[in-house]
Each structure stands twice: as C-alpha cells, then as structure tokens.
A and B are shown apart, each in its own frame.
Chain A
Amino acid sequence: MKLNYTIKIGYRMALFLSILLTYNTHAVNFDANLTDFDQNKKNKVTGLVKDNYGALPGVHVIVKQTNVATSTDLDGKFTIEVAKGQTLVFSMIGFEDKTITYQSGNNFNIVLNQKTSTLDEIVVNAGYYSVKDRERTGSIARVTAKDIELQPINNPLQALQGRTPGVSITEHSGVPGGGIDIEIRGQNFMGLQNSGRNNPFYIIDGVPFLSDALGTNNGNLSYEILQAKISPLNAINPSDIESIEILKDADATAIYGSRGANGVVLITTKKGTQSKTSFTISSTTSFSKVPKFLDMMNTQQYIKMREEAYLNANASFPANAYDINGVWDKNRYTNWQKELIGDTATAQETSLGIRGGNEFSNFNINYSHSESTTVFPTDKGYKRNSALMSYNYMSKNRKLSVNSSTLYSNQSNNLPTADLTKQSLTLAPNAPSLYDKNGEINWQDGTFRNPMANLKSSYENKTSTIILNSSISYTLIKNLNAKINIGYTNNHLEERVLIPHTIFNPAANLTSERSESNLSNQKSQSFIIEPQLAYNLSFKKHSLNTLIGFSYQQNDNESDQIRAKNFSSNAFIKNIGAAKEQLIVSTGKNQYKYASVFARINYMYAQKYIVNLTARRDGSSRFGDDYKFGNFGAIGAAWIFSKENFAKNISWLSFGKLRTSYGITGSDNIGDYAYLDTYTINRYQYNDQVTLSPTALYNPKFKWENTTKFEIATELSFFNDRLSSSIAYYNNRSSDQLIGTTLPSTTGFNSISGNSPAVVENKGWEFSIFSQNIKTKNFSWTTDFNLSFPKNELVSYPGLEQGTESSKYVIGKPIQIIKMYKYQGLDPKTGEFTFYDYNGDGKITSLDKEHTVSLAPKFHGGLHNTISYKNLSLDFLFYFVKKDNYNINKYYNSPGAAMLNLPSAMNDYHSSSNPNATYMPAIYNNPKNSLQINYTESDATISDASYIRLKNVALSYVMKIPKIKVESLRLSLQGQNLWTITSYKGMDPEFVSFGYLPPLRTISFSAQLTF
C-alpha cells in the first residue's frame, strides 16, 4: 500500500518535470526561428552605459522585437546586433528603463537615471510570491543584511531584537550555541511556555526548517548548560543572510495554512549579483564578559548569618557545617563570580567570499569559520564552519530560470556539563581555594565539592546541517509561469556527556570503572516539493495576479541515546564500544507527512484598490482519519489613498495607505501519533524483558487548532518620504487549542490531549516610524523607532471554574499568569512572613493562592539611529521592554539554613536588633519552613524586570582604494549589550531560567576587504 503510493507520487513528479523539460526544447526552437527571420538586416552596434557617477556594468540590453540580449561589461560597454526600426531597451534594478528605436549609427552613449524614490521599488518576500512593499495587503516586517551585518551575533534571531515591531526575542543564555525564544505577537496557544507550541514557522530559501529547539526530549544532555534548548538557527551564519521577513497577519500567513498561526519567518540568503567578480575577505574579533555580577554577602556577613542560624536553633555546629565548624578558614574570601564566570570570552570569525555574474547567470559562494570561548575557566568553546553556495541562471529569453542554493554548516560545542553561574551564586564565600599548592584540584580533605572537578567532565555536541533548495521556473506563455520548488534539509545533532572518574576525589580510589559516557543522536530529514502555477494579467487599469500550488512534505526523525559505563581507560571514553556496560536508553523513529493545495488571487485596480485572497487546504498525519484535513484562508485589502485626486494636492503627503485583513490560520502542533491508542516501549526492562506501558489516555477526536487574525493598519509617508510611519492594530483569537487538559492523577495521567474550548486573544498596537532627519551630500542621519503593546487575554473558557485548569488560568487575564500567595510583609514581632488569607479560614493553605501576577511583557520596542559622515558611519540601537519577572526571592532559601551564600540584599533578616527586616530570621532546621515555601510562591518573588538596553553600537569606516583595485575596505568597531538601565535587582533582567549565564557584553573589531 505504502510502496504503491510512493510510486504514484514519484510518477506524478516525473510527469510534471517531463512536461517542463519537453516544453523547454520547443521554446528554444521558437526563438531560433524568429532570430533567423531577421538576420540579414542586422547591424553590429557598440556603446557605453553610464549613470551620473560613471560607467554601469551589468546593465541588461535587449532588442525588444527579437529577444536578443546582452549586458554591459565591467567598463559599461556592450555590443549587440540590431536592425533598423527595432527597439533597444536598457534596464537595471534601481534605474529607470531607457528605450531607443534604432535608426542608424554604431556607437551609443546611454545615460540611465536612478529611480527617484527607492521606497516605491522595495519588494518584499511573502514566501510563495513577492510583492511591492507599497502594494502589500499583509503585515510583513523586514530586517536586511545591512542591519544584520552590524551585529556581533551568532544566531540570526538576535538580529531581530528591537528592530521588528511585534516580535519579542529573549536569549536563554550567554553561552555560545544556546537557545533563543521568539514570540510573534504574543502567545497564541496555552501550554508550557517552553513547549515550543508558540514557535513560528521558519522557511529558509523556500525550504521549511526546524522550528523546535534541538537537544530536547532525547536525554536532555545539555540541560544544565544549555537548558536542553539549542536554537536550530545557530546553523545559519548571520552574515549569509540577505533578508529576514516576518509574516504576521492573516493576509501574509494564511497561505501557510496550518503553520501560519504563530507567524512565519522567511530567511533569504545572499545571492549572486550583476557585477564583476569580487572577492570579500573579512575578519572579526570579539571580546565578551558578564556585564554585571550579583552583589553577594561577604565572608563576615555570611559567617555571622550562619552562626546565628545555629544559635537560633539551639543547635551545635554539626559535622558537615564545614564553613563554620572550623574545618574551613572563617576569614577566607573569594568572589566566586569572578573565579567561575569572570573570564573574557573571545571569538574570532573569518570569512572568504566570492560573488559575481551577470543578469543571466550569477553566483555567490561564502565560506566562514568562527570560534569562540566562554567566560568559564576553561579554554573550550564553540566552533562553526559554514558554507553558502548559490547559483542562479536565467535563459537569454528570460523564460527559464533556475535558482539553487546550498547551505551547509557544521558546529561543535565543547562546554562544561553545567553552567557554573548557579554555583558562583551560591558557593560559600569562605569555601577553600580551587587549587592546592601543587596546582592540583583542592578537595580540602573531602569537605569541598570543588567546582573545578566538574570541569573534568564535559558536554560536547556536533551539529551538521544541510539545506538544499532548487527552484525551476518557466514562462509557459506570456504571463503564465510554472515553477517547481524542491527542497531538502538534513540536521544531525550528536551530543555527548563525558564523566571521567577524575571528577571524584582521588581519595576515594576510584578508577575508570566509574567513568561514564553518554551519547545521544537526533537526526531529522525533510523533503518538500511544491509545484506552482502563476498567472498574471493586466489590462488597462486592472491587474490580476494568481497563484495555485501544491505542497507535499515528509519529515523523518530518528533519535537514540546510549549510556556507557566502566571503561578500561579514560582514553576510550568516547568509544561506547569499549565500555564494559552499555545501555541503550532509547531509540525512536517517527514520521510526519503533510500535503496541501494553496491558491492566491490578487486584484489591483488603478494601482489604488487592492484585494488579496489566499486559501489553503492542509492534510496532516497527526490527526485521526476523520480530522486529517483543515481549510484556511484570508482576505486582505488595501487602499492607496495618496493616489486619489483629493490627496494629490496635499504636498506634504507622499504616500498613504490603509490596509486590513481577516482570516484563519491553524496549527497541528500536538506531536506525531498522538491520536492512536497505544502502548509505548519503555527504556527500562524488568527481568531483562521488554516492558510496555500505556502511552496516554485515548482520544482520537481532536482536530486543528485555529487562530483567527484581524488587522487594520495605515502606512503614511511625508515630505518626499523623509518621514514614514505605520500604525497597526491586530486582534488574533486562538481556539480549539490542542492542549492536554489537566486531569487529576486519579485518571492515571496528568492530562488528556484534545481541543480545549478556551479562546485566547492577542491584540495590540504596533507603531513604527522611520525618519531621514538629515540628508546632505556628506552627512546623513536616520532614525527608526518601533513600539509594540501586546495584550494577551483568556477571553473565554467554558467549564474553567469546575474544571481542572482553574488553578492556572483566570478569564480576562493573560495566559502567562501565575497564581500566588499575596505577601503582606514580615511581622516585626514574630519575624514571620504573613500572607493574605483569601478564604478567611484563619490559615494559609494552597486555597489562598489567589493573587494573580502576569509575566507577559506590557510593551517593548527599539530605537535605532544611523549617522554617517562621508565614509564614517555610526549605528546604534536601544532595546527596551516593560515586564515583570522572578527576582532573587524565588531562588534563595531562608538565611543561614544551608551552606549556601546569599545575595547581600538578604542580609536584612529579622533579629531582635533588626525587627523591621525583609526576611525571616536566620535559623537552621527552620520550624517555620512552610512559611518560607509559601514565600517562594508569593508575589514577593515578582518584581519589575523592565530595562532599556543599548543593544548594539557599530562604528564603521569605509575606504575605496581604486589604485590597488580595492573596491572597499570596511573597518568597524561594534558593541553588544553595552549599557543597561534597569531597576531589577537580580543579575540581569533578560533571562528565562535562573542560574544560567546572562547575555554577555561584547566588543568586537572587524575588517572587511572587497576587491
């Protein structure tokens, strides 16, 4: 059955391809005939094409009647054969076309004029089609190479922070090769914030790429260092990117149907250009440090607190209280943050590129290598090699075009198994020195769990990624274009955790028998084929663009995890086969298929009124038989009112557009095979026999999640496009949420999959302003500003009160709320925390967790300025966000209770001499421990984590040295996270989980030479 079906698909593909190919040969004949017809009357003419500044290479020259074409060489010269009465057309992107009718002569000087307003000409990628920015009906934000290149970043998503309205980016960690959270217009879907349910859909050069974090759910080997969340986009070198487009509203995303709900991120890599072949060599060196340490207690404060804790408990110092019972020096002090996370991380990136070609055939190849170390006391770190190769071809008659790109990268990361930040924030300040007199790891007679010992173990990963894309398009007849897009991606992540016996105290006399090696592999492959047909028609004032296409995608994922112990020598620790004990923890394979038909009809009248209809029917293997298919679609409309007569007289208004859209997108983010009633093979055995456990509660009747999106926006430009702005309001509602409904464990599981009746609304305003403040011959200053006010609300949830989710959600509040105790201060008499007794029963129980706090951002935005004077330019970006987050109170225990250091703010603990304190008294074996636990679940652990951050500064200088054929030499100095204004008391307000390295402050120098 299965085989049969594969053959069928293969046959259809072959059929389609053969149609294209056979047609092609005939088409060429057709041209040849025409050319023959006119041959005898031809004159050979030469000429030079220039603009105001000089010769123009790569200008397309065509004889209109014959399709004979050429392009100008490096010196702007061309030679072409033309007959009398025929028309010569000169064209080049960014310039106005020039047409002359040939009469006589054989030498021409042509001057092309630069197009006056480039804003009119900006074309944005909308995925299956492109659209002029000014004529688009959808909401598409865009970041281009010129902004991306200015930042010393590892992951392309970092470039979006503060530059795109409606897009919120949070870095998980300052460790290179880590994870990044992206949220486009808020969280549509309920479920754990880290579940990936709100991830957008990534498309790289037309090929869907992995959306979910890597390294999750397969042993989570990187949990303690990268939080088991590795961004798949680390594979892409940011400097290979030409543009990133973010599709937000229904009009832009509905053509992606069930993948469009969380927005779509389109990444386009750099292509070849119409120019002489040029080589680019660039090199960047960066230095990064932790921007701010948390202010911790010093030894004196710490010892006082610890001793008081035992005094208050009427207890003598026990044998394991080494910090105060005399085993450790009570006067010693170490700033553990400086020791453990205080190094400077260095990074070095070099790249070599070559690009060139003409309008018909061009290429771009770029190879780059980067290496970076960490702030931990180890010289290991992250490496990436990446190669981008793209080739474009267009036949001379411009009917056939072939585009292909290959992106390959391999990354390796070699890190400590655990982020040392947590230890640096808890280690007792009088803990012994890391190394003894002989330079060996100091165990202090077995009393010190030395963090350096853990550095003998390591977490290593290797990722290799291939993204292949080719698209062939052919103009069948005038205005009718057929295209087939084929893509393949392959991603392989190999992770290892190596734990040699040397991490233990040598006094224990352990041997490599205790050494352990863990290996986990995650492979995913995806194949996509998308034949499409586009038909464009314009007559008089009408213009029609249509598109119909089919998409078929197959994903195969494979994962396995092996644990090995007991090696004859640590030299073999990476060789699982050499271990005496090998355990296959898990192996798994799953498949996902997806098939769709999509269509678009775009109608424009008089370049003023535009209607855009998109539709998609999707089938997904993730649903039961009756629910496999879903229909999605949108309507968008725009009115360019500045072209109306009444507006033409308003001299200061150069452009005005009103646009709106409404539609439905969806999501099938529920995991493969979830609709089946199955048993799962466990990783562990009993009596050496396989064990099978029930997988989940059975519910085959779930269907697509839906997000209905509405947007209305206006785009205005003033004073000859010197000032432009856009204001957008959106309202998205997500329903039929595919979420496990929480169930009490008496049902056997924690939840059941299904469509929840809850409706979540994300609405908000997005503002952006671009201003060309000053523009003179030598000096220019531009300002970009954007601001987003997202608002999330649980609109309705029938059955919430009676149901199981009432402890998590409240109707009318965001889905990111947390229900907490309401903290009411410390009772100065008793030194006890007090909480508000919501149900008035005289005691504080979990029923009093009725205070709600939201961690959703209230607003965020960016302010970006570019100032340039002659060849010097300065670019800087401020990013700001207003939100609440957890503070130190969430993560630290009662003062003195354990051998752990605390932030110096916690010095303010209650005692007879300090009755008006913030924290409970220092006490060992705290009998009021339950109050401390309530405290960590109260609103005292939440505080304002808003910040304004100078995210990026770049100062660059460009030189042209024609004498030695240097096209350009750019020197730049860049900085990242240079300065932060915040009232947040923790280490850094930008974090997802406590105890991980915050985003680093980076300074880098780079030089780029093009010749």
Chain B
Amino acid sequence: MKTYILTYKTLISLYLFLLVISTSSCTKLVDIDSSTTQIDKTDVYNDLSTTKAALNNLYLNLSNNSLLNKSGSGISFNLSIYTDALDYYGTNISGSEMYLNTFSDNNSQSTSWWNTSYQHLYAINDFIQGVTNTDAISIELKQKMLGEALTLRALYYHYLAQLYGDIPYTTSTNYLENKNISKTTYLDVLTKIELDLNQAIEYLDYTYTNKDKFYINKTVPELLLIENYILQKKYQEAEELASSIIDRQQYKIEDDLLNTFKKEATSTIWQFSPLFLTANSATPEATLYIFSNFTTSSSVLSKKVLSLFDDNDKRKQHWLNKIIINDQTFYQVYKYKNKTNNLDEFSILYRIEQIYIDLAFALTMQEKQEQALTVLNQLRQKRGLSDLSLTLSKQETINAILEEDLKEFYTENGRRFFSLKRAGKLNELTQSKPNFRPYHDLFPIPSSQIQINKNLLPNNPGY
C-alpha cells in the first residue's frame, strides 16, 4: 500500500513540475546571450569609441566598395575603359560591356555603383542623426564628425548626379519615405550638395586627424565645392576658392614624380587607409594595373593617350611601365609600384594637382585664358614640359587643359569622363570609341531598381 501512496505523491509532483515549467518565467527560458558581433544602436552613439567606429565604417565603405573604390569595380578603372584612357584586354563580361559601350540598364557595375551609394548614404544619414542626438560627445567633436559625414554625403551625391543626372536625394533613414522616393533634378541636387559642403567647411579645420591623411579635413569639402561651383557654372566662386587653397601652400606638387604616389607625398589631400594597415598589402591599383600577362581584367594605357605624351614628360618615364607581351609593346599604368611588400603606398583619392586643373578651367570659362595658361604651365613645368603660349584661344586653352588633365589623372576617379562632360566635349570620344553615342553622357538607372520603384521612371534617354 505504501508504494501506491508514494506513486500518487510522485504523480502530483510531476504534474506540479510540468505546471511550474509551463506557466512561470516562460519568457526567461528563451532569453539569450547577446551576440558577440552586434551592438545595440542606442549604445553605439552613447559612447565615443563606438561612435568613432561608426565613422570609420563610413570611410571603409567609401574606400572598399563604393563607386570610388580603386579596384576593378570602381569608376577609376571603369570610366577609364569607358572613355579613351585605357585599352581593355580582359574577358570579364561587365568589363567588355563597359569598354565597348554596349551595356544595357542591367549592367552589373553600374547597378552596384547605384546600390552601394545609397546603402552608404543610409549609413551616413544614420550617423548624422545619431551624432546629432547624442549627449555623450562634446560639441567640438560632434561638429568635426558631422563635418566629415556631411562631406561624405555631398561626395556621394556629387558623383551620382554626374553619372545619373536626376537622382533620388534623401537625408532621411525612414524606409517608408525612401522606398517610393522620386527623383530630384540635377540642378537641385547640386544646390543641396553646396549647402552640405558649406556646412562642413564651417565645422572643419585644416589640420588632419592623423598624419596619414586618412580622414577628411577642411580642404576636402573645399575641393568638392570647387567642382560643384564649376558644375553650377559659378566659375568666379570656383576660382576664388581654388586660388585660396593654392595660396595657402599647405600642399605642394612633388618635384620628384616618384614621390607623388608615396604615402608621405606633400601633394596629397586625402588618401585611403588600406583594409589592413599592418599587412603591407599592395594597393588595389598596383594589383589591378601591374601584370606580366593578360588576365581576366587586364588593361593598358590606350594608344591615343600614349601618343599625347611628349618624350620629356616625366609622367611617361615614371608613371608608365613598358611591357612586351608576345612581341607587342604595351604601356601599363605604373603610378603605384608595389605589387608585393608594400611599405610606402596608400591609395590617394585627391591631390593638389587637381586644384590647378580646376582653377585653370574656371578661369578659362571666364575668358581669362592668360591666367589659366599661367596656372597650367606651373603644372607642366613640374612635369618637365615647356610652357604653352599664353595667347591660345579659349577653345585651344580648354583642349590644352583637357589634355593635361588626361595625362595627369588617367585612372584617377574617372576624371577623363567628368572633365570632358563639364567641358561639353564627350562627343569627341566617338573618334576612338565606335559605339559611343551622345546619350552615353549618362548612365542608366538600374532596371532592377526601376522595377521596384516606378517613381524612378523614366530612365535616362537611350536605355
């Protein structure tokens, strides 16, 4: 009998056990440890070091996978083969489409420029909101960080507007607003960029956060503002700002061209940190342009550009490398030289030479050819070239500036395309690019994006 009583006791305990488990603290049963790779958003902006990490991410985005990245997927390379700067010997489909000017509205490269830009803009806008609203950071530091973020926002829109024309412009992170967003006209976007840049100039100063110039200082928004003024045809403002940067003498054109792309170069305004600072990895440029045999993404300087170089041009001697493949001679881009064990090169985004070209262009557009040519000759002298006559006509001056621009900046930030475009001379490309058409001044909005936001219609003409 004893055992039976025990049984019922047991039974009751068991049922109680199940009851306890099923009713109390059920939610706690499924409480989990936090992930080691994620941090709550509110915590990020309540601490200076995590806020800095969020800012570093904006720089990482830009240098690593934005349209300004220096590898085979960025505009530096692609606009070089799209225009007449490089000849393409690779076999990648997207590269061939770019080189032959045959791509459609689903070109993978162009789609990725568009998508990553807006993804990065979200991170920038979220950062601006987070920093604006936090109490954990001092006012000075807040302004400095906001100045950098505003410059980055302006920079993305600056390139998007030039590539795609009318584009969606947003400073919000609300997806309900952004998912059906309409296009803002090209000119309105330029105005908004100008506002951001002026705000950034107010917040920033000319010193650098670190000696390697990995972070934006006040010169960067000024440089972008010069370009913005030129696009808005505000040539006088552009001229004044450009002159002020040169006169300030913070940056100097290197006399020895072997130093221009070294990390200590005095001409550098802003350069990217490599993904792993201590790994001594080659720059993306060295990886992309230096090769001994053709691979899937090989390109060499185009014959046309080569013909423009004077034999005395130090750039031909120092920034190009002659190679022979199957008894044919090619010149490969050799601005960055360390294919392995890279101790002294970082990818440079902006350098002072650009201000000289922009200044010369702004002057010319105000019919001040003589002043423009004087500025241009300063650059030519540094490159071992003789002075041009100061009496060239406006058209001749523009052509001279464009040629110097090309010889100086091939494979840098797609300048060939943008400089021809702002000078209204893209049609000249038809001479060397048989498939080039006037509508190729704009890239198509990716079809995959138009399909999911009909407010992006119509696409740019021609696509």
Residues on A lying within 8 angstroms of B by beta carbon are: 1-2, 5, 8-9, 12, 15-16, 19, 22-23, 26-27, 29-30, 318-320, 322, 325, 327, 446-447, 476-477, 480, 482, 505, 507-508, 513-514, 531, 533, 548, 550, 552, 565, 581, 583, 586-595, 597, 617, 619-621, 625, 628-629, 672-673, 676-682, 684-695, 697-698, 742-750, 752, 803-807, 845-847, 893, 898-899, 925-930, 933-934
- The stretch from B93-101, B242-250, B312-320, B359-367 touching chain A is B93-101
Given A327-B326, A476-B7, answer yes or no on A806-B21 (Cβ-Cβ < 8 Å).
no
Q: Is the CB of B38 within 8 A of A678?
A: yes
The smallest beta-carbon distance between B73 and chain A, in angstroms, is 15
Residues of chain A within 8 A of B273, CB atoms compared: 686-688
Q: Is the CB of B210 within 8 A of A687?
A: yes
Q: Is the CB of A320 within 8 A of B30?
A: no
Complex Cα distance, B119 from A749, in Å, reads: 6
Residues of chain B within 8 A of A548, CB atoms compared: 18
Complex Cα distance, B43 from A677, in Å, reads: 10
From the candidates A5, A587, A845, name the one contacting B28 in the complex (CB within 8 A): A5
Given A23-B6, A676-B40, A933-B106, answer yes or no on A693-B57 (Cβ-Cβ < 8 Å).
yes
Q: Is the CB of B435 within 8 A of A672?
A: no
Nearest A residue to B121, CB-CB: A748
The smallest beta-carbon distance between B323 and chain A, in angstroms, is 11
Residues of chain B within 8 A of A898, CB atoms compared: 91
Q: Is the CB of B38 within 8 A of A673?
A: yes
Q: Is the CB of A742 within 8 A of B452?
A: yes
The smallest beta-carbon distance between B238 and chain A, in angstroms, is 30
Q: B437-458: contact bitstring with A at CB < 8 Å (1 yes, 0 no)? A: 0000000000111111100100
Residues on B lying within 8 angstroms of A by beta carbon are: 2-4, 6-7, 10-11, 13-15, 17-18, 20-22, 25-42, 44, 50, 52-54, 56-57, 59-61, 63-64, 89, 91, 93, 96-97, 100, 102-106, 114-115, 118-119, 121-123, 125-126, 168, 170, 173, 175, 178-179, 181, 210, 212, 214-215, 273, 275-281, 292-294, 298, 325-326, 328, 340-341, 434-435, 447-453, 456, 459, 463
From the candidates A550, A685, A743, name the one contacting B277 in the complex (CB within 8 A): A685
From the candidates A592, A677, A680, A686, name the one contacting B60 in the complex (CB within 8 A): A686
Residues of chain A within 8 A of B13, CB atoms compared: 15, 19
Complex Cα distance, B93 from A697, in Å, reads: 33
Q: List, sorted by A's number, 16 A–B pairs whose CB atoms are closer than 8 Å.
A: A319-B326, A320-B89, A476-B7, A533-B18, A595-B29, A628-B27, A672-B35, A673-B35, A679-B40, A681-B39, A689-B56, A691-B54, A692-B56, A694-B122, A697-B175, A930-B104
Nearest B residue to A511, CB-CB: B340
Residues of chain A within 8 A of B450, CB atoms compared: 846
Residues of chain A within 8 A of B463, CB atoms compared: 845
Residues of chain A within 8 A of B123, CB atoms compared: 693-694, 748
Nearest B residue to A844, CB-CB: B104
Nearest A residue to B57, CB-CB: A691
Complex Cα distance, B59 from A697, in Å, reads: 21
Complex Cα distance, B22 from A505, in Å, reads: 67
Q: Is the CB of A846 within 8 A of B449?
A: no
Q: Is the CB of B175 within 8 A of A685?
A: no
Residues of chain A within 8 A of B449, CB atoms compared: 744-746
Given A687-B212, A697-B175, A929-B97, answer yes or no on A621-B31 (Cβ-Cβ < 8 Å).
yes
Q: Is the CB of A685 within 8 A of B21?
A: no
Chain A interface, >50% SS class: mixed
From the candidates B2, B3, B30, B56, name the one contacting A685 in the complex (CB within 8 A): B56
Q: Is the CB of B38 within 8 A of A929?
A: no
Q: Is the CB of B276 within 8 A of A752?
A: no
Complex Cα distance, B273 from A687, in Å, reads: 5
Q: Is the CB of B3 within 8 A of A29?
A: yes
Q: Is the CB of B118 within 8 A of A686?
A: no
Residues of chain B within 8 A of A446, CB atoms compared: 292-293
Complex Cα distance, B374 from A466, in Å, reads: 78
Chain B interface, >50% SS class: helix
Residues of chain A within 8 A of B91, CB atoms compared: 898-899
Residues of chain B within 8 A of A695, CB atoms compared: 38
Residues of chain B within 8 A of A587, CB atoms compared: 36-37
Nearest A residue to B28, CB-CB: A5
Nearest A residue to B122, CB-CB: A748
Residues of chain A within 8 A of B170, CB atoms compared: 746
Complex Cα distance, B52 from A678, in Å, reads: 16
The smallest beta-carbon distance between B67 and chain A, in angstroms, is 13
Complex Cα distance, B451 from A743, in Å, reads: 11
The smallest beta-carbon distance between B51 and chain A, in angstroms, is 9
From the candidates B17, B32, B59, B178, name the one contacting A744 in the complex (CB within 8 A): B178
Nearest A residue to B50, CB-CB: A692
The smallest beta-carbon distance between B95 and chain A, in angstroms, is 12
The smallest beta-carbon distance between B103 and chain A, in angstroms, is 7
Nearest B residue to A893, CB-CB: B93
Given A693-B61, A748-B121, answer yes or no on A743-B30 (Cβ-Cβ < 8 Å).
no
Given A5-B25, A23-B10, A672-B32, answer yes or no on A927-B17 (Cβ-Cβ < 8 Å).
no
Q: A681-B38, A684-B275 are in contact. List 17 more A-B contacts (CB 8 A).
A: A12-B20, A29-B3, A319-B325, A320-B89, A476-B10, A480-B11, A586-B37, A588-B37, A617-B22, A679-B39, A687-B215, A689-B53, A746-B181, A747-B118, A749-B122, A807-B452, A845-B105
Nearest B residue to A673, CB-CB: B35
Nearest B residue to A807, CB-CB: B451
Nearest A residue to B451, CB-CB: A807
Nearest A residue to B209, CB-CB: A687
Q: Is the CB of A628 within 8 A of B30?
A: yes
Complex Cα distance, B326 from A15, in Å, reads: 82
Given A619-B27, A748-B123, answer yes or no on A933-B104 (Cβ-Cβ < 8 Å).
yes
Complex Cα distance, B97 from A893, in Å, reads: 13
Residues of chain A within 8 A of B3, CB atoms compared: 26-27, 29-30
Residues of chain A within 8 A of B179, CB atoms compared: 743-744, 746-747, 804
Given A533-B18, A685-B56, A927-B435, answer yes or no on A552-B451 (Cβ-Cβ < 8 Å).
no
From the candidates B7, B22, B341, B459, name the one contacting A23 in the complex (CB within 8 A): B7
Residues of chain A within 8 A of B25, CB atoms compared: 5, 8
The smallest beta-carbon distance between A852 and chain B, in angstroms, is 14
Complex Cα distance, B462 from A930, in Å, reads: 13
